[in-house]
Structure 1
Amino acid sequence: MWKDVRDREGGAIRPVTFRGRVCRRRVAALDVSNQKEIVSAHRGGVNSLQVDLTEGRYLLAGASDGSAAVYDIQRSTDYEGGGRIAKHRSLLVVDKQHAHGHKFSISSVVWYPVDTGLFITGSFDHRIKVWDTNASQVVMDFKMPGKVYGTSMSSVATTHMLIAAGTEDVQVRLCDIASGAFTHTLSGHRDGIMTVEWSSSSDWILMTGGCDGAVRFWDIRRAGCFLVLDQSRSQFGSRSPLAESSSKKQSVPQRGASSTISIAPERKVPHYSNTRKLSTSQRGKLIKGFDTQRLHPGMSSSRNRSTAHYGAVTGLRATKDGMYLLSTGSDSRLRLWDIESGCNTLVNFEATHLHTRPLGLAVGEDSSLVFVPCMATVKAFDMWSGATSRTFRGHFESVNCCFFSAHNQELYSGSNDRQILVWSPPNKAAVELDQEVNGGQRGPDSDQDRWSD
């Protein structure tokens, strides 16, 4: 550690490199926190967790008893154990007793990406509700056609305020907070949608995983999905350039030039001698960057029926750079996908047993570790080798979700035991200093200076 500090002071390493090394050391030392405890306000299993993306201060949780709660994870409400354990109690709780609370289990909670004044809850009572945090009131209520399994909002979007919703219905629906209406209905899955995830690098790309085992990519500006992940389509190592076959199967003419578009015969698409003669819908079927054809949801194609897992897709999580996608399935498999090529990277993650219900995955800040709920534990896998780096044990029942906060390198996990555990790096120096200054007592004023006037 001190060697890195000296190298940073001498200019031998860049600030971003120094920060990355410190963060990796902190993540490698994660353990059940002996200084911070979240006092759960839930009477049912915790299904979903998220820390706000703006301040990294407020933890939002949703549980199977229909309650949602907000916790301040930076400022404690009281102390215990001689002032050494900071207790964090809920600042806000909305449950079945609330006039507009959910009647059944809350399956998903999401913060409004740019402001903690709003948060979204999705429930098995067929409702998605937008809440005013300060007033604890519902400001918008969307009626869905079935149980809500997952909701998501884009953290990079600047042009829309859409909530992507996955339900037991076969269609993905996008709810607009600005207008209070449904703006899109995306058709293509053959069974319910268990998980939804926005791209972390594009405003318009949405990824969905269904009970049919398919992971589909959508550009919400166009009709139909443009990519279906296929577990049998794979590549080793780093990204490879576009397949040569793509240039043989279709050639897009230059502007102002006339040439022939050759498409594989099994696709059953008529040949055209000039792309200018193609209709708008026909031109939309040709996509760039993928060796496939944009398929309308109603078309029958072997490529359109590809599956990413043998069973339901229970979890999706994109890396921070938007280059890779992680998926889990009821087949107890964890897979890493190259988003650009749509290929399975064939990283062999160690065998584990996963739940068949929706799971909340988490990815480390530098995308080197992925945290996956595995029965009553949380396992940290190395993203590139698939080896198990750490196994976090502390819950007494099945873990449903976890969330990694990059602001302070802490991991939060929610379980059917109704508890929310905090996994943080040890801070022995701070504890020893507080004990020395305060005579072993730690209180709310322990961080204030001792200078006299």
Structure 2
Amino acid sequence: MWKEIGDRESGKLRPNSFITRIRSNRASSLHLSNHKELVSSHRGSVNSLQVDLTEGRYLLSGAADASLAIYDIQRATDYEAGGLIAKHKPILVDKQHQNGHKYAISTAIWYPIDTGLFVTGSYDHHIKVWDTNTTQVVMDFKMPGKVYRTAMSSLATSHMLIAAATEDVQVRLCDMASGAFAHTLSGHRDGVMAVEWSTSSEWILMTGGCDGAIRFWDIRRAGCFSVLDQSHSQLGRRPPLADKSTTKVSTSKARAPQRKVGSGSSSKHSGTSKILKHAKGSAKQRLHPGLLTSQDRATAHYGAVLGLKATEDGMYLLSAGSDSRLRLWDIQSGCNTLVHYEIVRLQTSKAIQLAVTQDSSIVFLPCMTSVKAFDVWSGQSRMTLQGHYENVNCCFYSTHDQELYTGGNDRQILVWSPLKLIPDDADECDRRTEQPSAVDEDNWSD
């Protein structure tokens, strides 16, 4: 770190590059936190974790005992070891609410633009929308089967849709604005365990099913417009675009060219962007959702797709399957990038939650009782985080603090952060008494 600081002081390193390098160094040095501890109130396995996207301050968790909890991860409730270890107790706990879930909570997510609402899905076939301030259910959606995952688009300005992955073959979109189902997406031949919104378009939805297929949907159209095929691969570069010349790109870090969008629209919200349009020869065609062709039957994994995670730039998609494989997909072309990740053992009884760093350099994958960290572009194993006593179900990487939160069947929520060797006394006060430190006291200041 001192080298980066020296380069920044001398002007050799630009501000943005300095920030990126520091964040990357912190993400590469994660250990079980020696200064922060979350006191779990759950009496069942922790199935879902998410830090709010607005303040990066509140951690939402859902567990198998139908309980949910919210933690303030920036302000501790107590301190131990002379103030060196901050203990965070839940500021909100809900158990056996009269209108709450009856069975295990499988997914819990924040409303993307406000911490006043959050959404939970459960094995009791219900998706509920909660008011954070009153801890009351304000909306309830009855689903046809167990709810495995829910997702909301962080880019959406035109809709308030909750995408639900259930044991039913159809993917349903719940509209929070009307309180009714807005869409039913048909195409999978088995239950759906993973769902993820595109990080570059508010209209594109990606789903992974127990049939081993990953399908891409434009919610403004009927039927999926693409199915990923693990045998459709391209190594070293992306397919050439019609309006641009072919250029060679490094195999380890393939970066997409910036797409230009007409005036009056943003690239992140453009639904007409070139995403996953398969072609036979030079003629491109869109398959009818009812047609059962070789392309429609393509599979991304030899087994169920357990988890999906899109990179922050919206160019790549990571998928984990019950075949113990982690794959990286080029979203624009639909190609398997053939990045070779270590074969790891994954639990197949439930959906898993992956996490990616802000610069999309490291992916965190729950592997039984540990969490594996891989380099996204080379596939090399960076580190193995071991601390849970039982299987790990979920992980979430906080971009605000460069910390990783993991939850497992041992009912614990662990914090992984860069080692903190020197106590943080930037607050200029004793954190236990909230009074000025004795070193800073004087006889003239207020």
Deviations 1:239-263 (A, max 9, x none): 23159xxxxxxxxxxxxxxxxxxxx
Structure 2 counterparts to residues 200-239 of structure 1, below 5 A: 200-239=199-238
Instruction: Specify the code of the residue in structure 2 equivalent to 1:323.
Output: M
2:315 matched residue in structure 1? 323
1:363 matched residue in structure 2? 356
Contact kept, 8 Å, 2:275 with 2:332, in 1: the verdict is no
Deviations 1:111-155 (A, max 9, x none): 000000000000000000000000000000000011001100001
1:274 matched residue in structure 2? none
Instruction: Specify the code of the residue in structure 2 equivalent to 1:142.
Output: F
Give the distance between the partners of 1:61 and 1:155, measured in 2 at CA: 19
Contact kept, 8 Å, 1:82 with 1:442, in 2: the verdict is no
Q: Does 1:409 align with 2:397?
A: no
Change (3 A) 1:2 1:364: same
Q: Does 1:108 align with 2:107?
A: yes
Contact kept, 8 Å, 1:361 with 1:371, in 2: the verdict is yes
Structure 2 counterparts to residues 355-434 of structure 1, below 5 A: 355-356=347-348, 357-430=350-423
Change (3 A) 1:446 1:205: farther
Give the distance between the partners of 1:370 and 1:297, measured in 2 at CA: 33
2:432 matched residue in structure 1? 443
Deviations 1:135-177 (A, max 9, x none): 0000000000110011000011111110000111110000011
Give the distance between the partners of 2:137 and 2:330, measured in 1 at CA: 39
- What secondary structure is seen at the aligned counterpart in 1 of 2:423? helix
Contact kept, 8 Å, 1:409 with 1:424, in 2: the verdict is yes
Give the distance between the partners of 2:433 and 2:308, measured in 1 at CA: 40
Instruction: Specify the code of the residue in structure 2 equivalent to 1:382.
Output: D
Instruction: Specify the code of the residue in structure 2 equivalent to 1:135.
Output: T
1:248 matched residue in structure 2? none
Give the distance between the partners of 1:387 and 1:447, measured in 2 at CA: 47
Contact kept, 8 Å, 2:276 with 2:334, in 1: the verdict is no
What's the offset of the Cα at 1:50? 0.3
Q: Does 1:241 align with 2:234?
A: no
Q: Does 1:339 align with 2:331?
A: yes
What's the offset of the Cα at 1:2? 2.9
- What secondary structure is seen at the aligned counterpart in 1 of 2:422? helix
1:353 matched residue in structure 2? 345
Contact kept, 8 Å, 1:242 with 1:341, in 2: the verdict is no
What's the offset of the Cα at 1:100? 1.0
What's the offset of the Cα at 1:409? 0.1
Change (3 A) 1:444 1:132: farther
Deviations 1:64-111 (A, max 9, x none): 111111000000111122322111111111222x11110000000110
2:25 matched residue in structure 1? 25
- What secondary structure is seen at the aligned counterpart in 1 of 2:91? strand
Higher Rg of the two aligned structures: 1
Instruction: Specify the code of the residue in structure 2 equivalent to 1:353.
Output: R
Structure 2 counterparts to residues 246-325 of structure 1, below 5 A: 289-291=277-279, 293-325=285-317
For structure 2, which runs of at least 5 residues remain unmatched after alignment? 243-271
Instruction: Specify the code of the residue in structure 2 equivalent to 1:339.
Output: I
Contact kept, 8 Å, 1:398 with 1:417, in 2: the verdict is yes
Q: Does 1:90 align with 2:90?
A: yes
Change (3 A) 1:8 1:211: same
Change (3 A) 1:447 1:391: farther
Give the distance between the partners of 1:87 and 1:18, measured in 2 at CA: 31
Change (3 A) 1:104 1:321: same
1:68 matched residue in structure 2? 68
Instruction: Specify the code of the residue in structure 2 equivalent to 1:445.
Output: E
Change (3 A) 1:118 1:8: same
Quick check: which one's helix share is greater? Answer: 1
Contact kept, 8 Å, 1:117 with 1:133, in 2: the verdict is yes
Give the distance between the partners of 1:395 and 1:214, measured in 2 at CA: 31
Give the distance between the partners of 2:276 and 2:374, measured in 1 at CA: 33
Contact kept, 8 Å, 1:401 with 1:413, in 2: the verdict is yes
What's the offset of the Cα at 1:200? 0.4
Instruction: Specify the code of the residue in structure 1 equivalent to 2:423.
Output: A
Instruction: Specify the code of the residue in structure 2 equivalent to 1:391.
Output: T
What's the offset of the Cα at 1:295? 1.8
What's the offset of the Cα at 1:235? 0.8
Contact kept, 8 Å, 1:189 with 1:214, in 2: the verdict is yes
- What secondary structure is seen at the aligned counterpart in 1 of 2:297? coil
Structure 2 counterparts to residues 151-230 of structure 1, below 5 A: 151-230=150-229
Instruction: Specify the code of the residue in structure 1 equivalent to 2:85.
Output: I
TM-score under structure 1 normalisation?
0.86
Change (3 A) 1:7 1:233: same
- What secondary structure is seen at the aligned counterpart in 2 of 1:19? helix
1:148 matched residue in structure 2? 147
Instruction: Specify the code of the residue in structure 2 equivalent to 1:176.
Output: D
Contact kept, 8 Å, 2:357 with 2:399, in 1: the verdict is yes
Contact kept, 8 Å, 2:62 with 2:69, in 1: the verdict is yes
Deviations 1:156-214 (A, max 9, x none): 11111100001111100000111101000000000111010000010100000001000
2:13 matched residue in structure 1? 13
Instruction: Specify the code of the residue in structure 1 equivalent to 2:167.
Output: E
| Aligned-residue CA RMSD (Å) | 2.1
Contact kept, 8 Å, 1:170 with 1:193, in 2: the verdict is yes
Instruction: Specify the code of the residue in structure 2 equivalent to 1:330.
Output: S
TM-score under structure 2 normalisation?
0.88
Contact kept, 8 Å, 1:224 with 1:294, in 2: the verdict is no
What's the offset of the Cα at 1:29? 1.4
Instruction: Specify the code of the residue in structure 2 equivalent to 1:80.
Output: E
Matched positions, count: 407
What's the offset of the Cα at 1:62? 0.5
What's the offset of the Cα at 1:429? 2.5
Change (3 A) 1:194 1:5: same
Change (3 A) 1:450 1:141: farther
